[in-house]
Amino acid sequence: MRSNLIVVAVAAGLCLMTISNGFSAPRSKAQAQTARGEYLVKAIGQCGDCHTPFTMTGGFAMNKWLQGKKLEFGPLVPVPIWADTAPNIAGLPGWDTEKAMQFFMTGLAPNGQPARPPMPPYKMNRADAEAVVAYLKSLKPPSAQEAKQVTEGEHPAMTK
């Protein structure tokens, strides 16, 4: 009787392990890299704070995720090179993969200049830079009309 109970318990444990592991499809290396990049962009870099418009209630306009916006804050003292608009980074238009990775690893743009404040000069390792670029490249860039709204200072989340 006791041995039957042990066999049933072991079988039940194996079934639970199989079920819990069996329902999640194995991730490819590219999927895992993109997921890591999403984590770095959202949780560590908090890129959405500057690169995503807010809704009227203060949340992110997710249909405009990382598509750029006019910043609602500025420096307390004059900063001549301050960027008052955060550019679109969804899809990384205009950036090839290697140059974008170099930017995140060195903090320098392809022209050798640092990013304009308030953008921090990131110094990521290669794996993190590859992951961030993979995630950003996976996003849909805005349409030409949406991009124009951002550069003209309109608040895309509050327009049609």
Per-residue pLDDT tens for 87-119? 999 999 999 999 999 999 999 999 999 999 999
Q: What is the pTM of this model?
A: 0.76
Provide the pLDDT for residue 144.
74
Per-residue pLDDT tens for 116-147? 999 999 999 999 999 999 999 999 988 776 66
The SS3 of residue 35 is helix
Q: Per the structure block, which two tokens stand in for 77?
A: 């003292």
Provide the pLDDT for residue 52.
97
CA distance 55 to 75: 23
Average per-residue pLDDT in the chain? 84
> Would the CA dihedral through 53, 54, 59, 64 be positive or negative?
negative
The SS3 of residue 69 is strand
